[in-house]
Chain A
Amino acid sequence: MYIIIVGGGKVGFYLASELVAEGNEILVIEQEPAKVERINDELGDVAMQGDGCEAAVLENAGTGRADMFIAVTGDDEDNLVSCQVARKKFNVPRTIARLNNPKNALIFKKLGIDTTVSATAAIMAHIEQELPTHHLIPLLSLRGSGLQIVEAQIAEDSPATGRKLSELPLPQQTLIALVIDANGHPHVPDADTELTAGDKVLAVTRPDAEDALRQILIG
């Protein structure tokens, strides 16, 4: 695969070195000559100096034949624009952007970026799993479908405790896909499955139905 990485900082460097080791063709585009030199010294000639948002630079980089385009600079606006240029001008099939502000996730999705990765959001998800006050934890968004998989922890005082799935007024296009009981045993629920405290529920839902689902399951 030919993969272009914009941003040769720490994230870009280690990403490139992993991908090179896997045998991919990699090009890192980085503005600072010193970083370009370091990457070329350590990983072989895989970096070029330039602004990864500029169409002329991307043209030189052979972006038109790239299979994947990954922008990992420390600035969300630069990651957004370089991915958009790669996608709209060079028709790269898959674009991935690093998010510095996790609040930009929805915006990037709306503006056509396939996948976003936010270290802040990832760390938050880990912390939230440990917190006693339960939220819906987003686990995965299903690409292209507008759906996502979320996790909810059913507590003693949850409105769903002791109720059958058929009694829950679930929002449109929402499905309870899996119930994992307090002992860690998973089972696929049916309409008669009764939720009890300590259950973990995995649901498929739309982002705009998340609040309604949280109300029903967690309160």
Chain B
Amino acid sequence: MKVIIMGCGRVGAHLATTLDREGHDVTVLDTTSAAFARRLPPEFRGRAIVGNGIDVDVLRRAGIADADAFVAVTQGDNRNVMAAQIAQHVFNVPRVVCRIYDPIREEIYHTLGIETISPTKVGAQLLKEALLR
């Protein structure tokens, strides 16, 4: 599977490394190259591209036209939402997943047909389950 991951923070880098190890074709995007050096292991075989994922030219450069999946995991909810919508509605990427911290915004975009994950909601739920076990 050809995957583009936008945002090379802890989650993005971890996801990229895992998918790369499993043999997927991985491209990671971040606005700073320092993120790649700090977080990607030396054996990472995927591509790392510096650029802003809400810029269609950067997305094209990352190969979005023939990507199978797109994941938006930058620190900014709005950036994630915008990039995910570009991937889904402009480039028709078959599988798009978007992280949105704010649970209310997550709900809105979920009803608009984007696959969303709110770590705030999921995290709170897991913590609650651990507490009440």
A interface with B by C-beta (< 8 Å): 53-56, 75-78, 80-81, 84-85, 88-89, 101, 103-104, 106-107, 110-111
Contact = CB atoms under 8 A, between A and B. Distances in A.
A111 B78 CA distance: 14
Given A81-B78, A84-B112, 12 more contacts: A54-B102, A54-B104, A77-B76, A77-B82, A80-B85, A81-B81, A84-B108, A103-B55, A103-B57, A104-B56, A107-B86, A110-B89
Contact of B112 (A54, A88, A103, A106): A88
A55 B104 CA distance: 7
Contacts of A103: 55-57
Contact of B78 (A75, A88, A89, A107): A75
Contact of B54 (A76, A84, A88, A89): A76
B78 A78 contact: yes
B57 A53 contact: no
A56 B103 CA distance: 11
B26 to A, nearest CB: 24
Interface string B90-123: 1000000000001011001001100000000000
B56 A55 contact: no
A82 B7 CA distance: 22
Contacts of B55: 101, 103
B64 to A, nearest CB: 13
B29 to A, nearest CB: 14
A85 B102 CA distance: 13
A121 to B, nearest CB: 15
A208 B65 CA distance: 19
A138 B91 CA distance: 24
A110 B108 contact: no
A80 B104 contact: no
A85 B79 contact: no
Contact of B81 (A56, A77, A107, A110): A77
A10 B56 CA distance: 27
Nearest to B81: A81
A55 B108 contact: yes
17 contacts: A53-B77, A54-B105, A55-B104, A76-B82, A77-B81, A80-B81, A81-B82, A84-B81, A85-B105, A88-B111, A103-B57, A104-B54, A104-B56, A106-B90, A107-B85, A110-B89, A111-B85
A57 to B, nearest CB: 10
Contacts of B85: 80, 107, 111
Given A77-B79, A85-B108, A88-B108, A107 B90 contact: yes
Nearest to A51: B102
Nearest to B90: A107
B116 to A, nearest CB: 13
Given A54-B102, A54-B105, A110-B89, A77 B112 contact: no
